Chains A and B, each alone.
Chain A
Amino acid sequence: MIEVSGYTKRYGRHEAVSNLSFTVQPGAVFGLLGSNGAGKTTTIRALVGLTRPTSGTVRVAGFDVWRDPVKAKAAFGYIPDRPYLYGKLTARELLRFVGQLYQVPDADSEIDRWLEFFRLTDFGNELIETYSHGMRQKVAIIAALLPDPPVLIVDEPMVGLDPHAARQVRDLFRSHADRGRTVLLTTHSLPVAEAVCDRLVVLDRGKVLGEGSMDDLRARTGTEAGGVHGDSLERIFFRLLEDELEEQRRVREEAGVAGVGA
Chain B
Amino acid sequence: MTVTPAPQPARTAQPSLSGLKLRALRHTLRRGPKWGYALVGTLALLLVVGEVVGTWRALTFLGRFGDIGLNVFARVLEIGLITLASGVTFSATTAAISTLYLSDDLNFLLTQPIRTTRVFALKVTETFLNAALVPVFLTVPLLLTVAAYFHAPVWAYPVMILAALLVFAAPVGLGALLAVLLMRVAPVGRVREVSTALGVLISAGLVYAIRALRPEVLVQKLQDPTKVEALLRDFAGPGSPLLPPSWAAQGIWQAAQGQLAAPLLPLLLLTVTLLLGATLLAAKAYQDGWARALDSSTPKLDPRPRRAGFSERLLNRLGPGGALAAKDLRVTLRDPTQWSQLLVVVALAGVYLVSVRAVPIPVPQFRGILGYIQLAFQGFIIAGIAVRLAFPAVSTEARGYWLLRTAPIQPRQIVLSKFLGVLPVTLTVGLVMGVASALSMSLGPTLLLLSVLVSLSNALVITALGVGLGAAAPKFDADNPAEIGVSPGGLAFMGLSLAYSVLCLLLLARPAAGSVLRPDLYPGYSALGTTEGILGLIGLLLATVLGTYFSLRTGWRRLDRLE
Chain A residues engaging chain B, CB cutoff 8 angstroms: 48-52, 69-71, 73-74, 76, 78, 80, 82, 84-86, 88-90, 92-93, 96-98, 100-102, 108, 111-112, 121-127, 129-130, 143
**Alpha-carbon distance between A188 and B363 when the two chains are bound, in angstroms:** 79
On chain B, the residues within 8 Å of A112 by CB distance are 305
Given contacts A93-B330, A123-B299, A126-B301, contact A52 B407 (CB under 8 A): no
B330/A89 in contact, CB under 8 A: yes
B305/A88 in contact, CB under 8 A: no
**Alpha-carbon distance between A129 and B326 when the two chains are bound, in angstroms:** 19
Contact partner of A100 (CB less than 8 A), chosen from B299, B316, B400, is: B316
Rounded to whole Å, the gap between the CB of A48 and the closest CB of chain B is 5
B405/A125 in contact, CB under 8 A: no
Q: Which 8 A-B pairs have the closest CB atoms?
A: A100-B323, A84-B399, A74-B408, A130-B296, A88-B334, A122-B301, A73-B408, A101-B407
Contact partner of A123 (CB less than 8 A), chosen from B301, B312, B404, is: B301
On chain B, the residues within 8 Å of A50 by CB distance are 402, 405-406, 563
On chain A, the residues within 8 Å of B322 by CB distance are 100
B399/A108 in contact, CB under 8 A: no
The yes or no answer to B335 lying at the interface (CB within 8 A) is yes
9 A-B residue pairs with Cβ-Cβ distance under 8 Å, sorted by A, are: A50-B402, A70-B408, A86-B331, A86-B400, A89-B331, A101-B407, A101-B408, A102-B408, A123-B301
Rounded to whole Å, the gap between the CB of B453 and the closest CB of chain A is 37
**Alpha-carbon distance between A51 and B400 when the two chains are bound, in angstroms:** 16
On chain B, the residues within 8 Å of A125 by CB distance are 302, 304-306
Q: Which residues of B, 397-418, contact A by the 8 Å Cβ criterion?
A: 398-400, 402-410
Rounded to whole Å, the gap between the CB of B290 and the closest CB of chain A is 16
On chain A, the residues within 8 Å of B402 by CB distance are 50, 78, 80, 84
A73/B406 in contact, CB under 8 A: yes
Rounded to whole Å, the gap between the CB of A69 and the closest CB of chain B is 8
Rounded to whole Å, the gap between the CB of B275 and the closest CB of chain A is 31
A126/B299 in contact, CB under 8 A: yes
B405/A85 in contact, CB under 8 A: no
Rounded to whole Å, the gap between the CB of B386 and the closest CB of chain A is 22
The yes or no answer to B303 lying at the interface (CB within 8 A) is yes
Contact partner of A84 (CB less than 8 A), chosen from B320, B326, B327, B400, is: B400
Rounded to whole Å, the gap between the CB of A133 and the closest CB of chain B is 13
The yes or no answer to B11 lying at the interface (CB within 8 A) is no
B400/A92 in contact, CB under 8 A: no
B327/A97 in contact, CB under 8 A: yes
The yes or no answer to B213 lying at the interface (CB within 8 A) is no
Smallest CB-CB separation from A50: which chain B residue? B405
**Alpha-carbon distance between A71 and B409 when the two chains are bound, in angstroms:** 9
The yes or no answer to B13 lying at the interface (CB within 8 A) is no
**Alpha-carbon distance between A82 and B399 when the two chains are bound, in angstroms:** 10
**Alpha-carbon distance between A96 and B561 when the two chains are bound, in angstroms:** 28
The yes or no answer to B307 lying at the interface (CB within 8 A) is yes
**Alpha-carbon distance between A50 and B405 when the two chains are bound, in angstroms:** 7
The yes or no answer to B308 lying at the interface (CB within 8 A) is yes
Q: Which residues of B, 304-326, contact A by the 8 Å Cβ criterion?
A: 304-308, 312, 316, 320, 322-324, 326
**Alpha-carbon distance between A74 and B308 when the two chains are bound, in angstroms:** 23
On chain A, the residues within 8 Å of B305 by CB distance are 92, 108, 111-112, 124-125
**Alpha-carbon distance between A89 and B400 when the two chains are bound, in angstroms:** 12
**Alpha-carbon distance between A97 and B326 when the two chains are bound, in angstroms:** 9
**Alpha-carbon distance between A124 and B305 when the two chains are bound, in angstroms:** 7
On chain A, the residues within 8 Å of B306 by CB distance are 90, 92, 124-125
**Alpha-carbon distance between A48 and B472 when the two chains are bound, in angstroms:** 21
Given contacts A88-B334, A97-B327, A101-B320, contact A49 B406 (CB under 8 A): yes
B398/A84 in contact, CB under 8 A: yes
Rounded to whole Å, the gap between the CB of A261 and the closest CB of chain B is 43
Q: Which residues of B, 374-431, contact A by the 8 Å Cβ criterion?
A: 398-400, 402-410
A51/B316 in contact, CB under 8 A: no
Smallest CB-CB separation from B322: which chain A residue? A100
**Alpha-carbon distance between A69 and B404 when the two chains are bound, in angstroms:** 12
A129/B303 in contact, CB under 8 A: no
B335/A88 in contact, CB under 8 A: yes
Contact partner of B323 (CB less than 8 A), chosen from A71, A74, A97, is: A97
